[in-house]
Amino acid sequence: MEDRTGPPAGGQRKPLLRALAGETLARPPWWLMRQAGRYLPEYRALRARAPGFIEFCLSPELASEATLQPVRRFGMDAAIVFADILLVPYALGQKVEFGEDGPILEPIAEGSGVGGLRRGGLPGLDPIYDTLRRCRAELPSETALIGFAGSPWTVATYMVEGGASRDFRQVKAWAYRDPEGFGALIELIVDATIDYLSGQISAGADAIQLFDSWAGILSEAGFERWVIEPTRRITALLNERFPTVPVIGFPRGAGVLYERYVVASGVGAVSIDTAVPAAFARERLQARVAVQGNLDPIALLVGGPAMREEVRAIRGALGAGPFVFNLGHGVLPQTPPEHVAALARLLAEPLESA
């Protein structure tokens, strides 16, 4: 196992890590959520080589190539390992499939369902670590490598609902009705996530992002119990094991609770969604941690003057502090690759001419 307790090799040369450590850079480092994906023709050709999405994610040869494709094409300051947040439920023994309309899981039954999940390590995810090692060996020395996982609350929503949901009725009802029983599921996911992310860091990840896509559907009390507390457990263990590896949290839709999240969760940086006001992010969040975000993916889809104005406004608002340019959510499959190339050119320009 690689020793990652000291400074990452070449870390001082990696703009992303400098920004996450609190440094203000003249040109913001950048990467995009879902930067590897269906909008790229080379990805679509690669994806056709695997019979299913899980098989694709668990093929180090294919997943490493998918990870590297956008960096080769656009020159982002970071690659993020190609995987999926639902690989953790898969490794825990839950039946997970991916169809045309998204993921389909065999729902975890309230009460008895947790007992049927696997404990004691995640050997099924070893290929992800191989993917990270391959990517680390091929990336330029100045390009960071990001690992990731879904945050426990968001992963639990899929595990209980059996996929995407409009009202999250099943998972929220369980959390209200039987918080101790639901807490046992959360604890299992927390432990699995700590093991999974530790493996990713040991395999070469320079930074970690926790995706809490459904953080914004909870009440304030629910947010504290099911978003902040599990995140705090994960960050505490990771910071103890790997003190030089930053953790970025993304509690999408958290609104004013972003501030509470930054104060209490232990993350070293926060990724913000498109709806977060720039002044709030600058004054209430960036004063404490590095901020990442938050271009509307639709602005990237549209491109042109609209995108240019949005980029200029975001850089103007957040560029005077520790800042990583990103989207407020993921790249849409319909996004023209040339718009991402145009974004790369914009971010390479000084702000006054961008």
> Is 47 part of the annotated catalytic residue set?
yes
Catalytic residue from among 90, 129, 158, 258: 158
Catalytic residue from among 27, 38, 73, 288: 38
> Is 296 part of the annotated catalytic residue set?
no
Catalytic residue from among 4, 18, 77, 84: 84
CA atoms 165, 101, 303, 35: torsion sign: positive
Which residue reads 């203000």 in tokens? 24
Catalytic residue from among 34, 134, 225, 252: 34
> Is 252 part of the annotated catalytic residue set?
no
Q: Which sequence positions are flagged as catalytic?
A: 34, 38, 47, 84, 158
